[in-house]
Every structure is written in structure tokens, then in C-alpha cells.
A and B are shown apart, each in its own frame.
Chain A
């Protein structure tokens, strides 16, 4: 099988698997949408109570766009795929059978994660069309074609960053029995520190400083700020470069953990 055909086959298999459980995933999509809507309603009430058109530098339209866009990214790209397969296969021993397949398990997980994200994003976009129609009066369109292109690039980078971040945690399964707790904690922090429920500029200064020391703001806050034109185009490349640095750090760490973990691995199960 050619090098290109292998990932395509993995992606196809993920799609077939996901389609078999389409009701389950549709319900998951619906849950994500519900969470986003609740936060939007809350902020609409905040704007009503404040009696101002702009709060914290965000107009009501920008805020609703930020929350729905951030909700879409959070629900369908970032929090749905937490690399449980890596962790589970190492824990239950099915990892052994992956090792003898003509494809690196690491890349198998990578493309399965990618397939899962693409599938849920597609399903999510369908669901969000209804919501976008409902909130159409509050939405704002991308600042320019360049902003849209950069936004899409930053979403792809965010997706990679999320994968490597959680892959590292999952690879800890070579050393510890259960990584769900640490992945859960990370997801909780990621949701808030990533800017999924409110732009980070709304938090107290000390928390903002803390969040910006971490990789999370690049997951949702950066893409949505690019989309809304809240960052001057001249500064976008610097932010995205930092994102690439974080990806490089975590992918390097993944490689180290993978190599060291493989040496430690003891096959369990039948």
C-alpha cells in the first residue's frame, strides 16, 4: 500500500465506524451545541444588563460570534478527541497487535484522531447552521479574506497542538495505569484557559498572565481573535510562530515518550 493510501484508508475506516454510531455522535453534537447556546444566552443577558453596546472591547455581535465559533472549535475539534485510544490500547495490551501491523501505531492514532475531528466538525457544522440562522442578527463576518485564511491555518495548528498535548498525556500509560484523570484535568483547564467560555481578556490580569504562559490560548482564543480581526495582521505571524513552537515542543516530547515508553512496554492481556 502506498504511503498516501494508508492514511486515507485509516480516515475512511474512522468515517465508517463513526457512521455506524451516527445517532450517538448526533447526540454528542447536540450536547455541544446546547452548551454553546447557554453561554450565548448568558452573555446576551450581560449586555442587556450592562446597557452598553461594547463590553471589554467586544460588541454584542463580536461576542456572539466568538462564543459560537469558540463553541464549535471546543466541542468538535478540541474536546471530543482526547486520544483515549492510545491510552486504552497500552493499558489493555491491544497495543501489541498494533505493533506487528505494517503501520506505525503513532501515525495510526494521529490519523484516527484527525478523522474523528473532521467527522465531528462536519456533523457540528450541519448542526450549527441551524443555530447560526437563529442568531443571524448577532453574527459578524470575518474581517477579510486574509483573516479567514489565517483563521483556518490557526485552526489546523490548534488541532495539531491539541493532538500532541493529549498524546503526551496518553503516552504516560507506559508508566501509569490510568491516564483518564490527568486528561480530564487538562481538558477542564483547557476549556477555560483556552477561551472557550469567554475571551481571556475578560479574566483578572493575574489569571491572564498565567494563561498566556501556557499553550491553551492558541487553541481557541487565538483563532477567534484572528477571525474577528482583533489582532493586527502584522502580529498574527508572531502569534502563529509561537503556536508552531509549542507544537514542536510537544511533538518532540511525544517522540521521546514514545521511544522510552516502547522500551518499557509489557504486553498485557491475551
Chain B
């Protein structure tokens, strides 16, 4: 309701986001007018990767992104977290999903349509197992992103610029919409093993393309599990350092 108060603004924001997706689509088209493939990835594969990235990105921004990257750090800094702590709800759950972004929900719908278009281009040639695996890896991607954003938000207990770190991660995560094949050497290893941005869209896309081994699938879940356990422990430790600035 709050977001629709300025209706022209609301509509223009959604339009802007849809236009951005459309222009990025044309960008990929421009690239593939000059080459047939990037590494192992064909045009359709890259479109699937891009559509998957968009879906994950929107699901994240609808649910927890703004809460963790902007609202929570601000509440920790100002001491407003006090008022959330006394509520009869699970604190982390509450602060993570306090505000659902309906604007991004409406922008999300065209990205679902885009994903459907890409699947149509590929003749929906996917088995049920592939689709189930794809969905599981999408959830896995969201959990991974949640863990990263929670780690960044938790640094607010010590530093005042965690929202800046979130902006940097937001830019860094754009790597996820390109095939990892664009990197070589050190960077490829870094984004594969140390900050596995491949989990965001590449793993789900490869699962749908039947280009993922069982080991890779299991490794994806394990990697997310490790990040999640670390994030939750870090959050609990951070809470013990909360100074409640307002009181």
C-alpha cells in the first residue's frame, strides 16, 4: 500500500526494471551477433542463465535483500533493534522478512515470463528430474545469498558502513548472470571455490541443461550449508556485541 501511494512512480519503477531486463536481453543479442558461443555456452544457454539470474535476483529483492542490506544495519546503528528484540517473534526471521517488496514482485512477473520464453525457445526439453533439481538449486541459491547478506549485515555490530559492503556485493553478484567461462586462472578458482557465485544461476541452469554431475550438485548444497552455518554463528556472536545505541 505504501509503495503504491505514488502510483506514477510505482509504475515507472516497474517499467524501468522491465526495460533494464529488456535492454540486457538486447545486449546478449548484440554479443551473439558476433560470436556463436562463449566458452561452452550458446545463445540459448546464456539466455537461460540470465533468466535464472533474474528470477533469483527478484526473489531475493522481494523477500530479504533490502531488510538485510539496508534496514537491519540501520536498526543496529540507531539502536532500533531493541524494539524488534522484545517482540514475541523469532528475531532473525522477523528482521529478515519484515518488509516484503511488492514493487519488485510486480517486476518479477515479467522475469518469470522471460524464463518461460527461454524454456519455449529450448522446446521445454527438460525431464521432471531436471526441473526438480533446478528448483532445488534455485532455493539453494537463495539460501546462499541469504547467508552472504546476513554475514554483511552482521558486520554492522562493529562497523558503520556495512550497507556500502552490501552495495559492493550487489555489484559483485552481477557476475552470476554471466557464464563462469568468462574468467580464467585465479578469478575462475576464486568464484568457483572461495566466493561461489556460480551457485546463484549457473548451477541451476546447468542442472536444467543436464550438464551437472551429481558431485557438483552435492557440493553446491554443502557449500551453501557451510556459508549458512557460518552466517548464523556469526549473527549470534554479533548479537552479543549489540550495544543498543538508543538507550
Task: List chain A residues, Cβ under 8 A from B34.
Answer: 46, 50, 55-56, 202
What per-residue 1/0 map shows which CB atoms of A125-158 lie under 8 Å from chain B? Answer: 0000000000000000000000000000000000
Expressed in whole angstroms, the Cα–Cα distance for A180 and B6 within the complex equals 10
Q: Which of A183-191, A220-228, A261-269 contacts B (4 or more CB under 8 A)?
A: A183-191
Residue among B161, B167, B182 with max Cβ neighbours from chain A (10 Å): B182
Residue among B30, B37, B187 with max Cβ neighbours from chain A (10 Å): B30
| Interface residue from A50, A185, A192 paired with B15 (Cβ < 8 Å) | A185
Chain B, interface residues (CB within 8 Å), range:
35 or more
What per-residue 1/0 map shows which CB atoms of A168-211 lie under 8 Å from chain B? Answer: 00000000111111101101110111000110001110010000
What per-residue 1/0 map shows which CB atoms of B3-16 lie under 8 Å from chain A? Answer: 00010111111011
Q: Would you call A27 an interface residue if the criterion is a C-beta within 8 Å of the partner chain's C-beta atoms?
A: yes
CB pair A41–B183 under 8 Å, yes or no, is yes
Q: Would you call B100 an interface residue if the criterion is a C-beta within 8 Å of the partner chain's C-beta atoms?
A: no
Q: Which of B1-44 contact A (CB under 8 A)?
A: 6, 8-13, 15-17, 19-20, 23-24, 26-27, 29-31, 33-39
Task: List chain B residues, Cβ under 8 A from A56.
Answer: 34
CB pair B26–A177 under 8 Å, yes or no, is no
CB pair B15–A34 under 8 Å, yes or no, is no
> A46 and B11 in contact (CB under 8 A), knowing A34-B168, A178-B6, A188-B16?
no
CB pair B27–A45 under 8 Å, yes or no, is no
Residue among B37, B164, B179 with max Cβ neighbours from chain A (10 Å): B164
Interface of B is mostly: helix
Q: Would you call B175 an interface residue if the criterion is a C-beta within 8 Å of the partner chain's C-beta atoms?
A: yes
Chain A, interface residues (CB within 8 Å), range:
35 or more
- The residue of chain B having its C-beta at the shortest distance from the C-beta of A32 within the complex is B171
Q: Would you call A35 an interface residue if the criterion is a C-beta within 8 Å of the partner chain's C-beta atoms?
A: yes
Q: Would you call B172 an interface residue if the criterion is a C-beta within 8 Å of the partner chain's C-beta atoms?
A: yes
Task: List chain B residues, Cβ under 8 A from A192.
Answer: 23-24, 26-27
Nearest-neighbour CB distance to chain B for A191, whole angstroms, equals 8
Expressed in whole angstroms, the Cα–Cα distance for A162 and B9 within the complex equals 21
> A177 and B168 in contact (CB under 8 A), knowing A35-B174, A46-B35?
no
Q: Would you call B165 an interface residue if the criterion is a C-beta within 8 Å of the partner chain's C-beta atoms?
A: yes
Task: List chain B residues, Cβ under 8 A from A28.
Answer: 164, 167
| Interface residue from B13, B33, B39 paired with A180 (Cβ < 8 Å) | B13
- The residue of chain B having its C-beta at the shortest distance from the C-beta of A179 within the complex is B9
CB pair B26–A207 under 8 Å, yes or no, is yes
Nearest-neighbour CB distance to chain B for A180, whole angstroms, equals 6
Expressed in whole angstroms, the Cα–Cα distance for A46 and B39 within the complex equals 8
CB pair B168–A176 under 8 Å, yes or no, is no
Q: Would you call A101 an interface residue if the criterion is a C-beta within 8 Å of the partner chain's C-beta atoms?
A: no
Expressed in whole angstroms, the Cα–Cα distance for A3 and B181 within the complex equals 57
- A residues lining the B interface (CB < 8 Å): 23-24, 27-28, 30-31, 34-35, 38, 41-42, 44-46, 49-50, 55-56, 176-182, 184-185, 187-189, 191-193, 197-198, 202-204, 207
Told that A45-B39, A203-B26, A204-B29 touch, could you supply 16 new A-B pairs with CB distance under 8 A? Answer: A31-B167, A31-B171, A38-B175, A42-B178, A45-B182, A49-B38, A177-B6, A178-B6, A178-B9, A181-B6, A184-B12, A188-B16, A189-B23, A192-B23, A202-B33, A202-B34
